[in-house]
Amino acid sequence: MSDIKTVLDNLRRPRLLVRAARHGLSDYNRARDLRRIVGFGASNSSADLLEKLIEQEEHLEEERKIGDGTYSIARHIEVLIALMAECRLLPREMRA
């Protein structure tokens, strides 16, 4: 879990992307959105979910940086919203 915390602590993204994700947090519904974002084989373990979300977000960030034609900003924002929401479910000592 400390690896996840380190990754999250070092995550730096464009301000507009983060603001859009924060704005979407209020509409996030874990039961509805998580399966669509992570996939049908999603486990309920917070650590596993965060690892999958971090992996997806890193892939999207790489696509964004290189200007890949398949990059979807909407998808990137969805993944960031899920990542932020799932981080809020971590125990307080793991977030601090």
Residue 87 CA to residue 95 CA, distance in Å, equals 7
Q: Hey, CA dihedral for 73, 38, 14, 60, is it positive or negative?
A: negative
**Triad 82, 15, 53: Cα angle to 5°:** 25
Q: What is the pLDDT of residues 58-70, one digit of tens each?
A: 999 999 999 999 9
Q: What is the pLDDT of residues 4-62, one digit of tens each?
A: 667 766 788 999 999 999 999 999 998 889 888 987 655 667 778 888 999 999 999 99
